């Protein structure tokens, strides 16, 4: 697969990030014992928003999503935040917004440049796998059409 130019963007106040398809890859930093550490994470680029015909339907959906999951509830700004493993729901009236939690793709690095280098390799690998899967699908599809 061809090497692509993978540049993590730097904007004031934001972690360095790279967006591919619907996923944002970003380098999270944190200071532990006066040492900066860096880690690659990924998360869907957008939250999923669902608008229901009435508040009762929205509540039933939230109840269905949280019934088998240990979760915490926090009431804020007229709505409720439900946090459980893997995602967070915000419910306010007829609207429910679901955001998937970030996935940690590397361990913590003490060097930003090491983390960036590994991050680029991981993103490249993901892109290559997606391209390979697409090509395989197209080849299978074309093979079936010629029969």
Asked whether residue 121 is domain-assigned, the answer is: yes
Residue 2 located in a structural domain: no
Q: Looking at the domain assignment, is residue 129 inside a domain?
A: yes
Which residues fall within 8 angstroms of residue 64, CB to CB, at 6 or more apart?
Answer: none
List the domain range (segments joined by +) for residue 27: 17-145
- pLDDT for residue 141 is more than 70: no
User: Does a structural domain hold residue 4?
Assistant: no
How far is CA 132 from its chain centroid? 22
Residue 67's pLDDT is 85
Per the CB < 8 A criterion, the answer to whether 58 and 66 are in contact is: no
Quick one: pLDDT at residue 62?
92
Does a structural domain hold residue 3? no
Band of pLDDT at residue 133, cut at 50, 70 and 90: confident
Task: Give the total number of structural domains in the chain.
Answer: 1
Whole-structure pTM value: 0.72
Percentage of the chain exceeding pLDDT 90: 67
E strand spans, the chain: 17-20, 23-32, 35-44, 48-51, 71-76, 79-84, 87-92, 95-100, 103-104
Here the tokens at position 59 are 């509540």
Q: How much is the average pLDDT of 2-27?
A: 89
Nearest to 110 by CA among 41, 6, 32: 32
Identify the H or E element spanning 4: none
Distance CA(8)–CA(123), nearest Å, equals 11
Whether residue 8 is contained in a domain is answered as no
Q: Model confidence at 135, in pLDDT bands (50, 70, 90)?
A: low
55 in a structural domain: yes
Question: What pLDDT does residue 73 have?
Answer: 92
Contact status, residue 25 vs residue 42, Cβ threshold 8 Å:
yes
Residue 22 lies in a domain: yes
pLDDT tens track for 46-86: 899 999 999 999 999 999 988 887 889 999 988 999 998 88
Of the chain, the percentage scoring pLDDT greater than 70 comes to 88
């Amino acid at each position: 697969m061809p090497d692509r130019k993978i540049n993590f963007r730097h904007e004031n106040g934001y972690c360095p990030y790279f967006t591919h398809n619907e996923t944002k890859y970003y380098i999270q930093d944190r200071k532990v014992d006066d040492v900066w550490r860096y880690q690659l994470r990924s998360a869907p680029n957008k939250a999923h928003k669902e608008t229901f015909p009435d508040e009762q339907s929205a509540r039933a959906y939230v109840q269905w999503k949280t019934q088998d999951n240990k979760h915490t509830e926090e009431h804020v700004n007229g709505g409720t935040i439900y946090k459980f493993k893997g995602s967070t729901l915000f419910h306010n009236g007829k609207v429910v917004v679901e955001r998937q939690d970030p996935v940690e793709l590397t361990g913590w690095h003490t060097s930003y440049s090491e983390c960036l280098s590994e991050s680029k390799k991981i993103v490249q690998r993901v892109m290559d796998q997606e391209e390979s899967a697409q090509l395989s699908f197209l080849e299978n599809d074309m093979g079936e059409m010629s029969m």
